[in-house]
Amino acid sequence: MSQVTMTVNGKAASGEIEGRTLLVDFLRETLNLTGTHVGCDTSQCGACVVHVNGKAIKACTMFAAEAEGAEVKTIEGMANADGSLGTIQQAFQDHHGLQCGFCTPGMVMSAAALLQDNPKPSEAEIRDYLEGNLCRCTGYHNIIKAILAASGQDADAIAAE
């Protein structure tokens, strides 16, 4: 066992880990940040996407030890300062971009990373970017609309084209 220290959602966080402890398990089990989900064991589903030093990463693809000293952001850190839903989160609710909610944290974190790099993505760019995030409930229709809306575009008009 060894000690790891990082910043998670703006707060210092540390804990005991094994060498094989994955970042996602450290977040869920040690820090009790259970908003980050585990939907597969082959790094395919994207339910565990978080931001590490500003970049979207599947938290099952890196060891907790590799995040030593890193800035980590999870779904629990996405709300506005007053606790209300952030822009992307609110767009997901407004456009019914979630059903069971299990893939949702990863979707929101991926969407946030996309919009950071590409503030007005096209429908095709969004679909391409979400290739690593699986959703079984929504058929993606309303997720794409939510991301279009969160980027200030007319989602209804684009979906009707």
Partner 1 sequence: MPADGGIGASTKRREDVRFLSGTGRYTDDIKLHGEAHAAFARSDVAHGRIVSIDTSLAESMPGVLAVFTGEDFVDVGGNPAGWLIHSRDGEPMKEPKRPVLAHGKVRHVGDAYAAVVAERLEQARDAVEAIEVEIEEVSAVVDMSNAVAGEDLVHDEIGTNVCFDWGWIEDNRAATDAAISAAPHVTTLNLVNNRLVANPMEPRASIADYDAGTGDYTLYTTSQNPHVSRLLICAFVLGVPENKLKVIAPDVGGGFGSKIYHYGEEALVLTAAKKLGRPVRWTCTRSEAFMADAQGRDHVTKIELACEKDGTFIAFRTETNANVGAYLSNFSTVTPTFLHGTLMAGNYAVPNVYVNVKAVFTNTAPVDAYRGAGRPEATYSLERVIDMAARELGIDPIEIRRKNFVKPDQFPFASAAGLEYDTGDYDALMDKLEALADRSGFEARAEASKASGKLRGFGVNSYIEACGIAPSNLVGILGSRVGLYDAATVRVNATGSLSVMVGAHSHGQGHETAFPQVVSEMLGIDPTSIEIVHGDTSKIPFGMGTYGSRSLAVCGSAVVRATEKIIDKAKKIAAHMLEVSDTDIEFKDGQFSVSGTDKSVAFGDVAFKAYVPHGYPVESLEPGLEETAFYDPANFTYPAGAYACEIELDPETGKVTIERFAAVDDFGNVINPMIVDGQVHGGIAQGIGQALLEGCVYDENGQLLSGSYMDYAMPRADDLPFYSVDHSCQTPCTHNPLGVKGCGEAGAIGSPPTVVNAVIDALQRAGHDITHIDMPLSPSRVWSAMQG
Q: Which residues bind partner 1 (CB under 8 A)?
A: 18, 20, 28, 32-42, 44-45, 47, 74-76, 78-79, 85, 89, 92-94, 96, 98-105, 108, 123-124, 126-128, 130-131, 133-144, 159-161
Strand duo 71-73 + 2-8: pairing: parallel
For residue 154, what is the DSSP state?
Answer: -
Helix, strand, or coil (residue 95) = coil
For CA atoms 92, 140, 38, 70, the dihedral sign is negative
**Which residue number, 67 or 104, has a Cβ lying nearer to partner 1?**
104
CB of 117: closest distance to partner 1 in angstroms?
A: 17
Q: Between residues 89 and 151, which has the closer beta carbon with respect to partner 1?
A: 89
User: Dihedral angle at the C-alpha atoms of 114, 116, 117, 122, nearest 10 degrees?
Assistant: 50
75 contact partners, CB below 8 Å, separation of at least 6:
35, 36, 50, 104, 105, 108, 109
CB of 44 to partner 1, least distance (A): 4
Q: Which is nearer to partner 1, 35 or 113 (CB)?
A: 35
User: In terms of CB distance, is 81 or 160 closer to partner 1?
Assistant: 160
Residue 33 beta carbon to partner 1: minimum distance, rounded to whole angstroms: 7
Q: Please state the closest distance from residue 29 (CB atom) to partner 1, in A.
A: 8
Could you give the 3-state DSSP secondary structure of residue 49? strand
> In the complex, what is the shortest distance from the CB of residue 85 to partner 1, in angstroms, rounded to a whole number?
6
Residue 151 one-letter amino acid: S
